[in-house]
Structure 1
């Protein structure tokens, strides 16, 4: 905004309407992050003659501005007494101009100060507030012009110190002619003339100025100009510039102080060490590119390694922060970094070529045979790094960046080192080092909670440790509670470098609008990770387009791709992305994205379920939301593998469907998950899904929704041994099915009830339900369910000791299966029952054969729940034959599965059998 009433964001002009509307924005920008009352705003924009309905007009302007600025990062909000404009640091030219000059005036390095002043003055574009004619505009315009004049005068001083007197002389001469009474300008011209070898002209300029001051103002030159005249007259050495001083060889030692505390990263440090010993060390420069998210500790690692190995670089260490992701401006021009390195080597400014490419070549010449370490921190991209690479083979370069710098890796052989979060042990060590062991040991649980909530993010740990250090009496439990409640809000700070949200925002600002949208949407996808196909549906694009978008986010270290190809966000990064989508995307667009994500999981799960159990209950979902592209599978093995990889996301999609009131989707997704949950032994997940789904059943149009829901909830309760509740839901399912004449669900309800009665120890009641189920399945002419029902009747007869009758039912089941040869658990279950019959009839060898056949079928299906049961059964005939080794192996494998499936009572019994076997083997 330094010039006219122009508003620019990221180098581009933002169209904000006519002059008064611009004036409102510029006035707020001038005092960004401060509350401005409406009356003061009106006075500054319209002066003493505001329109009759000034407040109404002002509100209209502000509404228009909010709409125009919606995607620029600028927000205008009402705060109690007035309007407050919030904008990222460094986005307003005026603030950046003052910040750059402030930095230049304290740096102590004329070369650096000169570069900063040039950057500041380049922000000016004409006369400030030229289109606005109010008292505030007049006074502000005058103030800004004075600030600019002071900046230009300071710039001349710094340029003179850098030996740039030759290029300054023409302009200084012209300005001195225009402003003959400006003593500071006169002194600068005198110095430039003297340093150019024109002492006589410098003294003559003093006399000319003295005469004009006397003639027009009746005064003599001030003490400063008189002192300069005397020093030029006597050729005092103090009048020479730094560039004129004798120069000596310099060994740069530019590394910032080593970070403390530092813990962990052993593998990464070893990889950096190994780079120096690599076989190609003698033929190429060693470049290590450390990439990772903002706040992950890249500079921390680079500096720790650099200080640990400093003595291996006798010719010195160069360091520059390239400001690739900086809160207060654009990335550093690499030419500025090159010039800084040249100044470090003590090169006479008069010997430095003007062309940036020539300067880079001079730098390469200086380091070509030196053993130097060059640390290029916070690089934006490969192009920023290339001019700073040495030309020889003896140097070592470490580059840190939030981007992967693929060009540096492929084109220059850089060794990529991706930095991930700290382990819990490393994070705990960092926290202990910062807070002291006594404080951490006093509240170990709270310390562990802090470590968990920070998720291994070094910056998050540092911020929390800082809060704890500044409040030594505050319990760590209180800090943990605050972090749990506020999330990222507890990791915010006025200092942008100590604020995790601000640090993450620097990465996000570097994204294109399309990439930023995808990043934000990933924050609201409820699962712990996401596949390419699911991401494509979330965004509503083709998988090929999604791959390109996700690759860019991966390159920017905002997401990570694992070896299986799935994408992950750190929990804190996910929270930041989720907050971004709430701020920047309309409710409609967000909801449509979530609908596509839920529908992707529903429709894909529905198709996968058909492959797992073709005879299960199926209800076709509605057409997927436009933009959603479910995937299909060639066989049940692929479907089962997909269920395994997507399980937690499927649970999240189900919960989201419930909370969003998508009752049909919630119920259908529960159906699609049931077989997988059973086969894999996810008993508690299955229970939660059906409990959550129960209220949705009343809103589902399908006539069997309530019956099916009660039935599956009853089965889920049975598996976790809550028999009374299970029987209640199964009886309810049976009653509703009988009311509706639903024979299929009546049969399934009896199947559920016979299982409950079996586990309660009432095999006779169980057999009655099994017989009723068989009769119903036979009327339905469903061979697969009849096979299972025949086996169930056989099983309960066997449990009652009726082995001959039991075998007849099992043989009938196998005969029916032979006429319908489909890979199905019905045959496996029948073989398992025959093993039970053989074992109890004393034919242990035959029992082992039947059990092994059943086991092979169930492994092929992937039904790990029943695999555990069959393994358990298999141990008995082996033990009866004295084959303790085989019995122990079967029971140990069953025990492992029971524990995985959280079947605790079964696990206790299996462990008891193993212990008994061990005791028997140990007996004399």
Structure 2
């Protein structure tokens, strides 16, 4: 995957556009020290000096550096062509220099200084400066970093002077006046800078001002340094006094050969606090380059939700590339989502463009099509940028599109504008929220490093509550700036409750009121508004199309049409095929709007959704474990259409995709006292949780389910809940709690004369005693379970009890009895086509073969067992079989195969958070290394 390293801001590493955790301050400094000298060896003693400087060294600094290097290698493992290697006396980080913003910056500056094409030089300089997103190395502070940072600032300052020389040479003196005046105020004794300002003033017809600036610096140099101006500055002064012809302003390059035409400059000021968006900026520039090669108009549609920073990006890019549009820049806010007024008619915007070119009103035709033709004629052959901000739809934007391939168009909209994409070859560019580092940097640019550094916990909470939405962050910053002495924790407290969050995100004006901004999108929804409201109130982090259809009580095709409309409006995001989610703050707004529905309507919608999850999950659970007793569900709510999975594999995939939503649905139902749905969801999740090793979630869902069963007052359900909760505690090695719940389950089953419940509970107790290390008690319960299953004529239960009894005989050393019982179990497993039971029995027979020295047979049995466990998705028992397979490989002297099996087992144990098993397998692997 592609990698990008950022040093010209907070130190960051991004792989495939995603930020990588590169560790704490010292570790980040190690990375910076290697990246500054990328592709060169940095000796260890030099690394130590760079990282600690004058600070106290650790006891073994070289070892500490080695540890940091190992952690960095692990963090960057997914990056292509990036290595950190030991070279004789130090470390070398090998990487494409273009992937490191510092080296890319220097390369761009060198290329800009080396080209004779001034327009190209300006473009290269601007691209280079665009890589600076903040202070190099962020807030990291060692003596080495401070010196490098100072050197970089000096490099940048000199490069800015070089850029100014090129711009003056190209005739851009008028545009430079304000910037040069500000810079001279900061650097009043810089003679080169003063000379540039004097030349810009002179060429703008302000000779007297230029001469006054010379006199001002001459006096300061004499007073403060006791020196006269340098020879170049004195020479410039003399030539100005003589009105030397070589000081005359050069003609601006233009693409027209006729009389000079007005050059509109309508762009609003660049956003001062612009942050991040490096990928999007590069994509816009690449699109412009491609359009130039193809001879077409570049039209880019920047889409995204309200407040995500579309206009921000468009204006920042426009100002970064302003020299590529020497014939003018047109801008109009089309007000497509203004909550207080209708969208601007295209004819009004078009007339504004004609006025910008100073067209005589008497020469403007009355017909709108003729006006559009006149507009296209005016920009033909010119390099003009057209920014159409906040377009409501394609129809509003089309009349404002130029026809000249030299022009460039940026359109921003909360809608996707497929008409522009399909009919005019526009390139869509959808903005997502800022990642946490960029979100924090935005607050830094508003409030400064010191204020944020003083309250890191409050800042983290502010960033989390805004979920990366630039407008929300800017509103908070505006509120914080208006009370500079207030702790940021006060704002964080306001945001803590969902019901108060949108109130807190209001700085007092429509443009800085997040609720009002969202309202502009909401009011434009039409008939899709009802689904938007329901989605906001639904449990779970996202929702599938079938679930949304049941929530809405509509057929899936009609629901898909509404979801597509919401997606085009950037109010939902289809983050995976067929799954939709909302930004947290948009969801809060949708939840507020959901109260427009009568309570009975909302209640019915939510019951349809919960029923969809319950009925679909029950069907999926039966596919995973067909021999488990089914729950009687009755009919779903009217309008709910469950979608049973097609088979066991599809059921596992469905549970995996819907798992967070199912957990949220149970919590939702529990909060509302819907106890029947609560225990049913615990039941339907049980097999998936057991096979996937979700031990802690299995405990949580059954604890909630047990509470619901008790409230329902049904002893059979309560006994089942105790049994499954006891089973979950057993797997989690919480033996005392497991024993209590299983004993309670057995008592309830005996009191109600539930023989099947007694058999299941004895089966569970056998395993519980095994994990406590007591195979004698385990065998007693397994034998009791076997007799009850045989009494019930339950072949599936009998097979599993036979295997369990055989397993315990094997654990006690009676391998002959063990093999006999397990072989009987295997016959029943295969007769019933119980793959999970067959796999468990195969694991037992593999263990018996291993213990009796038949290691080749054990390998064959374990491999077949793994195939079956993987087929049914039982990763919990797959891990145990892998552990035992490693033991057999070791017994055969096959150390590499043993390591592979144990490494796979360890990965699964980690995923299942099985601490004791992790420790045991680590010991196996450690002994292999001895």
Q: Please report the TM-score for the alignment, with normalisation by the length of structure 1.
A: 0.71
- Picking from 504, 524, 532, the partner of 1:510 is 524
Specify the SS of the correspondent of 1:567. Answer: strand
- Structure 2 unmatched runs, 5+: 1-258
- Picking from 374, 383, 405, the partner of 1:393 is 405
1:678 positional shift:
0.6
**Is 2:715–2:748's contact at 8 Å kept on the other side of the alignment?**
no
1:433 positional shift:
2.2
Q: Select between 471-480 and 522-531 the one with higher mean Cα deviation.
A: 471-480
Match of 1:150 in 2: none
1:363 positional shift:
0.5
1:452 positional shift:
1.4
Match of 1:772 in 2: 784
Identify if the C-alpha distance between structure 1 residues 853 and 323 changes in structure 2 by more than 3 Å, giving closer, same or farther. same
Distance, in Å, in 2 between the alignment partners of 1:620 and 1:331 is 55
Mapping of residues 53-132 of structure 1, within 5 Å: none
Mapping of residues 518-917 of structure 1, within 5 Å: 518-582=531-595, 584-700=596-712, 704-820=716-832, 822-917=833-928
1:837 positional shift:
1.5
Distance, in Å, in 2 between the alignment partners of 1:816 and 1:823 is 8
- Structure 1 unmatched runs, 5+: 1-246
1:703 positional shift:
5.3
Distance, in Å, in 1 between the alignment partners of 2:717 and 2:618 is 16
Specify the SS of the correspondent of 1:776. Answer: helix
Does 1:489 find its partner at 2:503? yes
Deviations 1:446-497 (A, max 9, x none): 2222211111111111112222222223223332222112222211232011
Distance, in Å, in 1 between the alignment partners of 2:872 and 2:828 is 20
Distance, in Å, in 1 between the alignment partners of 2:510 and 2:856 is 74
**Is 1:621–1:665's contact at 8 Å kept on the other side of the alignment?**
no
1:695 positional shift:
2.1
**Is 1:523–1:581's contact at 8 Å kept on the other side of the alignment?**
yes
**Is 2:299–2:427's contact at 8 Å kept on the other side of the alignment?**
yes
Distance, in Å, in 1 between the alignment partners of 2:321 and 2:580 is 35
Distance, in Å, in 1 between the alignment partners of 2:439 and 2:866 is 45
Distance, in Å, in 1 between the alignment partners of 2:508 and 2:444 is 25
Specify the SS of the correspondent of 1:698. Answer: helix
Distance, in Å, in 1 between the alignment partners of 2:898 and 2:272 is 56
**Is 1:248–1:346's contact at 8 Å kept on the other side of the alignment?**
no
Mapping of residues 248-647 of structure 1, within 5 Å: 249-278=261-290, 281-485=293-497, 486-512=500-526, 514-582=527-595, 584-647=596-659
Distance, in Å, in 2 between the alignment partners of 1:650 and 1:381 is 38
**Is 2:337–2:392's contact at 8 Å kept on the other side of the alignment?**
yes
Deviations 1:858-905 (A, max 9, x none): 001111111111111111111222211111111111111111122222
Distance, in Å, in 1 between the alignment partners of 2:831 and 2:658 is 36
1:571 positional shift:
0.9
Specify the SS of the correspondent of 2:644. Answer: coil
Distance, in Å, in 2 between the alignment partners of 1:276 and 1:529 is 36
| Alignment length (residue pairs) | 670
Specify the SS of the correspondent of 2:576. Answer: coil
**Is 1:838–1:846's contact at 8 Å kept on the other side of the alignment?**
yes
Distance, in Å, in 2 between the alignment partners of 1:892 and 1:564 is 33
Specify the SS of the correspondent of 2:390. Answer: strand
Distance, in Å, in 2 between the alignment partners of 1:385 and 1:302 is 16
Distance, in Å, in 1 between the alignment partners of 2:776 and 2:449 is 64
Distance, in Å, in 2 between the alignment partners of 1:742 and 1:899 is 38
Distance, in Å, in 1 between the alignment partners of 2:620 and 2:736 is 33
Distance, in Å, in 2 between the alignment partners of 1:533 and 1:702 is 32
Distance, in Å, in 2 between the alignment partners of 1:466 and 1:494 is 10
Specify the SS of the correspondent of 1:386. Answer: helix
1:330 positional shift:
0.7
Q: Please report the TM-score for the alignment, with normalisation by the length of structure 2.
A: 0.71
Distance, in Å, in 2 between the alignment partners of 1:751 and 1:758 is 11
1:316 positional shift:
1.2
Deviations 1:390-418 (A, max 9, x none): 02211010000000001010011000111
Match of 1:197 in 2: none
Distance, in Å, in 1 between the alignment partners of 2:427 and 2:847 is 61
1:699 positional shift:
4.1
Match of 2:234 in 1: none
1:844 positional shift:
2.1
What is the RMSD of the two structures over their aligned residues, measured on CA atoms?
Answer: 1.5
